[in-house]
Structure 1
Amino acid sequence: MEWKRSAFDWNQARAFLVTAEEGSLSAAARALGLTQPTLSRQVAGLEEALGVTLFERTSRALLLTQSGVKLLADFRTMGDAANNISLAATGQSQAVTGHVLISATDLMARYLLPPVLKKLRRTAPDLQIEIIASNELSDLRRREADIAVRHSRPNDAALFAKRLHDKKAHLFASKEYLDEVGRPETLADLEKLTFVGFDQPELRLGLMASRGVNLTTANFNFSTSSATLALELVRQGFGIGLLPTEISEHCPELENPYSEFEPISIETWLVAHRELKTNLRIRVVFDLLAEGIG
Structure 2
Amino acid sequence: MNKPHDIPDWNQMRALLATVQAGSLSGAAKRLGLTQPTLGRQVAALEASLGVTIFERVGRGLVLTEAGAQLVAHLRDMGEAAEKVAMAAAGQSQSIDGVVRVTVSDVYAAHVLPPLLTQLRARAPGLVVEVAAVNSISDLIRREADIAIRHVRPDQDGLIARRCADSAAYIYGAPAYFEREGRPNSAADFARAVFVGAFEGNDIFIAELNRRGVPVGPANFPWATQSGVTGWEWVRQGLCLGAMVDVVARRTPGVEVALPSLEPIPVSTWLVTHRELRTSARIRLVFDVLAEALSRRG
What is the TM-score normalised by the length of structure 1? 0.67
Distance 1:91 1:249, change over 3 A: farther
Residues 92 and 121 of structure 1, relative CA distance in 2, 3 Å threshold: closer
Deviation at 1:268, TM superposition (A): 0.4
Amino acid at match of 1:213: V
User: In 2, Cα distance between the equivalents of 1:112 and 1:251?
Assistant: 11
Matched, 1:171 2:164: no
- Which residue number corresponds to residue 93 of structure 2? 93
The 8 Å contact of residues 183 and 257 in structure 1, kept in 2 or not, is answered as yes
The structure number with the bigger radius of gyration is 2
The AA in structure 2 aligned to 1:238 is L
Is it true that 1:231 corresponds to 2:258 in the alignment? no
**Match of 2:193?**
193
Q: Helix, strand or coil for the counterpart of 2:125?
A: coil
* Letter of the structure 1 residue corresponding to residue 187 of structure 2: L
Counterpart of 1:245, as a letter, is D
The 8 Å contact of residues 190 and 215 in structure 2, kept in 1 or not, is answered as: no
Question: How many Å separate the matches in 1 of 2:90 and 2:231?
Answer: 38
Q: Which position in structure 1 is the counterpart of 2:293?
A: 292
Q: Is the 8 A contact 1:105 1:134 kept in 2?
A: yes
Q: Find out whether 1:212 has 2:230 as its counterpart.
A: no
Secondary structure of the residue that 1:136 maps to in structure 2? Answer: coil
Residue aligning to 2:109: 109
Question: What one-letter code is carried by the residue in structure 2 that aligns with 1:250?
Answer: R
1:1-294 matches, cutoff 5 A: 93-199=93-199, 200-294=201-295
Task: Using the TM superposition, give the Cα deviation of residue 138 of structure 1 relative to its aligned residue in structure 2, in angstroms.
Answer: 1.0
Q: Which moved more, 1:188-197 or 1:171-180?
A: 188-197
CA deviation digits over 1:60-102, x for unaligned, max 9? Answer: xxxxxxxxxxxxxxxxxxxxxxxxxxxxx69961111111101
Q: Distance in 2 between matches of 1:210 and 1:195?
A: 17
Aligned partners of 1:266, 1:91: CA distance in 2, in Å? 39
Matched residue type, 1:214 = P
Question: Structure 2: how far apart are the matches of 1:130 and 1:194?
Answer: 36
Q: What is the Cα deviation at residue 163 of structure 1? A: 0.5
Moved over 3 A (4+): 89-92
Give 1:207 deviation, angstroms. 1.4
SS at match of 2:196: strand
Tell me the secondary structure at the aligned position of residue 271 of structure 1: strand
Distance 1:90 1:243 in 2: 43
Q: Secondary structure at the match of 1:107?
A: helix
Unaligned runs of 5+ in 2: 6-88
Which residue pairs with 2:21 in the alignment?
A: none
- Residue identity matched to 2:161: A
What is the letter of the counterpart of residue 147 of structure 1? I
Say which SS state the counterpart of residue 130 (structure 2) adopts: strand
Maintained 8 Å contact 1:91/1:278: no
Q: CA deviation at 1:216?
A: 1.0
Aligned equivalents of 1:260 and 1:213: distance in 2? 12
Contiguous gaps of at least 5 residues in structure 1: 6-88
The separation in 2 between residues aligned to 1:284 and 1:177, in whole angstroms, is 43
Q: For 1:155-192, what per-residue CA distance to the aligned partner results, in whole angstroms no more than 9, with x for missing partners?
A: 22300001000111001000111011111112221222
Report if the CA contact (8 A) 2:185-2:259 is conserved: yes
- The percentage of aligned residue pairs carrying the same residue is 42
Distance apart, 1:252 and its partner CA: 2.4
Q: 1:265 to 1:249 in 2, by over 3 A?
A: same
Question: Aligned partners of 1:277, 1:229: CA distance in 2, in Å?
Answer: 37
For 2:293 and 2:225, how far apart are their aligned partners in 1?
28
3-state DSSP class of the match of 2:192? coil
- Aligned amino acid, residue 278 of structure 2: K
Query: Which has the higher mean CA deviation after the structures are superposed, 218-227 or 169-178?
Result: 218-227
1:161 is paired with a residue whose SS is: strand
State TM-score, norm by structure 2: 0.66
What SS does the aligned partner of 2:208 have?
Answer: helix
Q: Is the 8 A contact 2:105 2:134 kept in 1?
A: yes
CA RMSD of the aligned region, Å? 1.8
Describe the superposition over 1:39-68 as per-residue Cα deviations: whole angstroms up to 9, x where unpaired.
Answer: xxxxxxxxxxxxxxxxxxxxxxxxxxxxxx
Aligned residue-pair number? 207
**In structure 2, what is the Cα distance between the partners aligned to 1:255 and 1:102?**
30
